Structure 1
Amino acid sequence: MKSVRLLACLIGFLGLSSIGSCEDDDVVPAAERPVPVSYAQTQCADRWGQATSTQQLEALARAYLQQQGIVASDVYAARTGQAAVCAACSCPTGVILQATVRQADLQAVLDMGFQRL
């Protein structure tokens, strides 16, 4: 009977110690939390220069953001919108660039014309 009680106490202790050992190591600090953003490509006013394909846009945007100290992940470009019928540099092409940035970098990319999703 003592061995059963001892075993029950040991199991209880191990169960409680495993619960108590859960640290906030898995919690991502607020500044590091990923934030999805998007950018509507323009005819010729993008900070990273002109791109003739979605793959080139992804590469140019990623490189430009990296030069600015911004880490962008999940960078993806696709023709999802309609191109504007105008010839101004600021007119959209219909290609949307999407990415994920750290919360700490959000204001910087918003200032560049990105929008939070």
Structure 2
Amino acid sequence: MLRKIDCVMVRVDDLDAGVAFYAEALGLRPLWRDETSVGMAMPETDAEIVLHTTDLEYSTHYLVDDVRAAAQKWQHAIRTAPFEIAIGWCAVLDDPFGNPICILDMTKGQR
């Protein structure tokens, strides 16, 4: 089911300042950008740091092949039912300890 950690979300007040800092300090490079977020490439992996200006509850997103199938299999643990996102689908599950597990798929393709 789980393929990898796909992205880590990092809240910033200003996208341009965030891009400048993470590019200079960590050597990340911008991959894509929209009104509220910028995907930053990490060296030697296809995982992303996503800088954003929104108030999101979850910071780590795990990539799965199919969110809707995973949610159906784990329906007893659904915190937030599958919903569409720009690249596919997302859902939030609960582990047995009450911790959120945010999963996403890329069924619509990369940005």
- Report the TM-score when normalising by structure 2: 0.28
Q: Which has the higher contact order (CA 8 A, sep 6+)?
A: 1
* More helix as a share of residues: 1
- Report the TM-score when normalising by structure 1: 0.27
- The higher radius of gyration belongs to 1
